[in-house]
């Protein structure tokens, strides 16, 4: 039964197990009588030994890189390209050599095409001393760029580019939205949404991106600087070509005069353009903690059946089972999730960005090249509609610079969002109801009451995770499968870290429980074991 939002109910959730974690042995109690230093050493050794049982990922690819010698299906932005936009072979070979060796000197020898630098490829080799090693997390290969599945993902991006300026509040009235939904074979109410119950209900934007954020003794209203309607980029071949070589953009966005609540796809894309890695999740934690002298909740500890201080008349949580841990854990899982994501991006998949695929479509449709693209993509109604609007078949980008200079799969924002969703659903009662829900007015200048909508914290956290992930798709820089894989990867990383952290308490602690995005409920015991169901 759902329970109302209350100052006495925090910190519950459930942990979904990473498949590799199920075989980990139980964590034995350290023998009594050891010195503090020896006990701490044994704890570190046994925790490290337990995580060392994880196998290195199989790191299987979709085969695109080996199939096409000219590397047309691979990420190469920032390297030197020829006039048609194809990467120079020697430059790509230098990238592969560096990735094979992992040596800093080899990375420094990779040729550059322009002023922008590659985004941190050597981080793919970094170690992490908490949770699973970044190379032990498995994700499935993305769709090959010639498949119908990839054509559907790319068509969705073309439709999103066309629908960027339509207020989410007006989606049901838009003929363009109806056209997109029909072509993508989804109900209009599900268009560009995730698949969880939270994603599919209520306003498109999570309450945690709309409600004011308590910050010290003040609060932050979530109105943001957003580009004006129609601020699209990389719609001309000359502009597209220079951007692929890493040359900085020569055009800039025009911005609205007044800040706005996030009311459409362009606003959401801009939010995840300049956010710091776990900004949305930290804001969510502050909203839920709502700590401070004038707060409604004024609660410094999380509440759940697992919290040993829930019914204590002597102690309360702060350093442990309190807000200090909540805010700390968000940062901890962020760096670990990014290391795992960058391992997959650079070492394994090297998937081309959507803007690069748009270039292949442009070259094929104009007859400049004949690339092996499926007709479902080159003749897509979405591609035709973009041509009618812009005069080219290129995928319009929301950012002047297009995508970052690192491969597409999996999405880094999604990995962070998935990891932080685990922390939030572990640290707060997911069944709590959120009161006074709102949605932005069509102009984004005000918030309107959203009646007959009473989501749970867990549902809105799930929606937040997908908003953050899909915001990059609204910009045109990621595919849906990038988001899906990134979210799951982030969850798996966070689970492994909570396995280690569960072993550090001396309180009478029952373990962590939460429900992951797939709906699977998992429990992490105080011994660090992961139990599904």
Rounded CA-CA distance 335/129 in Å is: 11
Rounded CA-CA distance 405/117 in Å is: 7
pLDDT at residue 302 is higher than 70: no
8 A C-beta contact, residue 374 and residue 151? yes
CB atoms within 10 A of CB 274: 9
Average pLDDT along the chain: 91
Predicted local confidence at residue 115, as pLDDT? 86
Rounded CA-CA distance 111/114 in Å is: 9
Rounded CA-CA distance 323/8 in Å is: 14
* pLDDT band, very low/low/confident/very high, at 14 (cuts 50, 70, 90): very low
Instruction: Tell me how far CA of residue 256 lies from CA of 48, 259, 269, in angstroms.
Output: 51, 7, 15
**279-301 pLDDT, tens per residue?**
999 999 999 988 443 333 334 44
Take residue 165 and report the two structure tokens written for it.
């300026």
**Is 105 exposed, middle or buried (CB count within 10 Å of its CB: 0-12, 13-18, 19+)?**
exposed
Rounded CA-CA distance 166/173 in Å is: 10
Average pLDDT value for residue range 30-45: 81
Strand partners, 3: 432
Q: Domain 19-532 belongs to what architecture?
A: Orthogonal Bundle (1.10)
38-47, 158-167, 288-297: which is most confident:
158-167
Predicted local confidence at residue 25, as pLDDT? 45
Predicted local confidence at residue 32, as pLDDT? 55
Q: Of the candidates 386, 343, 340, 331, which has an alpha carbon nearest to the alpha carbon of residue 361?
A: 386
**308-326 pLDDT, tens per residue?**
888 888 988 889 988 889 9
Strand partners, 86: none
* pLDDT band, very low/low/confident/very high, at 29 (cuts 50, 70, 90): low
Rounded CA-CA distance 526/217 in Å is: 36
Find out whether the peptide bond into 40 is cis, omega within 30 degrees of 0.
no
Sheet holding 530-532, edge to edge: 512-515, 521-524, 530-532
Host H or E run for residue 523: strand 521-524
Average pLDDT value for residue range 244-264: 95
Q: Tokens 């442009």 label which residue?
A: 362
* pLDDT band, very low/low/confident/very high, at 84 (cuts 50, 70, 90): confident
**88-97 pLDDT, tens per residue?**
999 999 999 9
The conformation of residue 144, written as its DSSP 8-state character, comes to: P
pLDDT at residue 259 is higher than 90: yes
Sequential DSSP letters for 5-16: --TT-------P
Q: Strand, coil or helix: what is 363?
A: helix
**For the chain, what percentages of helix, strand and coil (3-state, to nearest 5) are there?**
45, 5, 50
Host H or E run for residue 134: none
Rounded CA-CA distance 154/381 in Å is: 12
Average pLDDT value for residue range 28-42: 74
Predicted local confidence at residue 24, as pLDDT? 41
Domain ranges across the chain: 19-532
Strand partners, 523: 513, 531
**163-201 pLDDT, tens per residue?**
999 999 999 899 999 999 999 999 999 999 999 999 999
Predicted local confidence at residue 318, as pLDDT? 87
pLDDT at residue 75 is higher than 90: yes
Predicted local confidence at residue 311, as pLDDT? 80
**107-148 pLDDT, tens per residue?**
999 999 988 999 999 999 999 999 999 999 999 999 999 999
Instruction: Tell me how far CA of residue 241 lies from CA of 78, 244, 368, 406, 453, in angstroms.
Output: 11, 5, 14, 17, 47
8 A C-beta contact, residue 398 and residue 227? yes
Take residue 490 and report the two structure tokens written for it.
């982030």
As a whole number of Å, the CA-based R_g of the chain is: 24
H-type alpha helices, 276-380: 279-289, 323-342, 354-365, 375-378
Q: Strand, coil or helix: what is 333?
A: helix
Percent of the chain with pLDDT over 70: 91
Cβ neighbours of residue 521 closer than 8 Å, sequence gap 6 or more = 14, 16, 513, 514, 515, 532, 533
Predicted local confidence at residue 108, as pLDDT? 97
Q: Tokens 């041509």 label which residue?
A: 387
Take residue 423 and report the two structure tokens written for it.
């922390």
8 A C-beta contact, residue 415 and residue 490? yes
pLDDT at residue 303 is higher than 60: no
The conformation of residue 122, written as its DSSP 8-state character, comes to: G
pLDDT at residue 34 is higher than 90: no
Rounded CA-CA distance 283/214 in Å is: 8
Range scoring the smallest mean pLDDT among 58-72, 421-435, 477-491: 421-435
Average pLDDT value for residue range 6-19: 36
Helix axes 457-475, 265-274, angle to 10 degrees: 90
Cβ neighbours of residue 36 closer than 8 Å, sequence gap 6 or more = none
Rounded CA-CA distance 411/482 in Å is: 5
Rounded CA-CA distance 356/337 in Å is: 26
Predicted local confidence at residue 210, as pLDDT? 98
H-type alpha helices, 74-122: 89-101, 104-108
Instruction: Tell me how far CA of residue 491 lies from CA of 17, 138, 409, 470, 518, in angstroms.
Output: 9, 12, 16, 17, 10
Take residue 385 and report the two structure tokens written for it.
């509609």
């Amino acid at each position: 039964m759902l329970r109302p939002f209350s100052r006495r109910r925090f910190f519950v959730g459930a942990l979904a197990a990473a498949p590799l974690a199920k075989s980990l042995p139980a964590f034995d109690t350290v023998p009594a009588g050891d010195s503090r230093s020896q006990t701490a050493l044994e704890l570190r050794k046994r925790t490290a030994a337990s995580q060392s049982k994880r196998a290195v990922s199989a790191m299987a690819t979709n085969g695109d890189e080996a199939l096409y010698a000219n590397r047309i299906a691979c990420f190469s932005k920032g390297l030197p390209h020829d006039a048609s936009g194809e990467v120079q072979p020697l430059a790509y070979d230098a990238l592969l050599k560096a990735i094979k060796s992992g040596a800093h000197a080899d990375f420094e020898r990779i040729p550059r095409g322009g002023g922008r630098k590659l985004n941190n490829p050597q981080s793919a080799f970094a170690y992490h001393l908490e949770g699973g090693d970044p190379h032990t997390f498995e994700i499935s290969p993305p769709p090959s760029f010639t498949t119908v599945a990839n054509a559907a993902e790319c068509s969705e991006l073309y439709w999103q580019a066309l629908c960027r300026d339509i207020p989410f509040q007006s989606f049901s009235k838009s003929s363009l939205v109806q056209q997109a939904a029909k072509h993508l074979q989804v109900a209009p109410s599900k268009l560009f949404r995730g698949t969880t119950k939270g994603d599919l209900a209520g306003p498109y934007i999570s309450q945690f991106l709309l409600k004011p954020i308590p910050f010290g003794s003040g609060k932050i209203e979530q109105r943001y600087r957003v580009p004006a309607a129609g601020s699209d980029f990389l719609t001309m071949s000359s502009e597209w070509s220079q951007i692929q070589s890493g040359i900085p953009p020569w055009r800039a966005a025009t911005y609205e005069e007044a800040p706005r609540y996030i009311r459409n796809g362009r606003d959401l894309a801009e939010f995840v353009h300049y956010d710091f890695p776990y900004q949305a999740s930290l804001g969510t934690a502050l909203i839920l903690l709502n700590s401070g002298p004038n707060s409604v909740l004024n609660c410094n500890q999380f509440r759940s059946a697992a919290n040993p201080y829930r019914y204590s008349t002597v102690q309360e949580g702060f350093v442990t089972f309190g807000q200090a841990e909540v805010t700390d854990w968000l940062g901890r899982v962020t760096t670990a999730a990014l290391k795992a994501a960058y391992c997959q991006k650079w070492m394994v998949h090297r998937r081309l960005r959507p803007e690069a695929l748009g270039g292949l479509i442009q070259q094929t449709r104009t007859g400049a090249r004949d690339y092996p693209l499926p007709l479902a993509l080159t003749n897509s109604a979405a591609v035709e509609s973009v041509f009618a609007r812009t005069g080219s078949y290129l995928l319009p980008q929301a950012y002047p610079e297009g995508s970052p200079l690192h491969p597409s799969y999996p999405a880094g924002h999604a990995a962070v969002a998935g990891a932080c969703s685990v922390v939030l659903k572990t640290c707060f009662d997911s069944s709590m109801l959120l009161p006074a829900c709102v949605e932005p007015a069509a102009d984004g200048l005000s918030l309107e009451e959203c009646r007959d909508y009473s989501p749970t914290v867990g549902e809105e956290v799930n929606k937040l995770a997908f908003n953050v992930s899909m915001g990059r798709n609204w910009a045109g820089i990621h595919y849906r499968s990038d988001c899906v894989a990134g979210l799951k990867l982030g969850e798996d990383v966070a689970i492994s870290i909570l396995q280690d952290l569960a072993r550090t308490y001396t309180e009478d602690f029952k373990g962590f429980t939460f429900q992951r995005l797939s709906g699977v409920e998992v429990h992490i015991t105080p011994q660090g074991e992961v139990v599904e169901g």
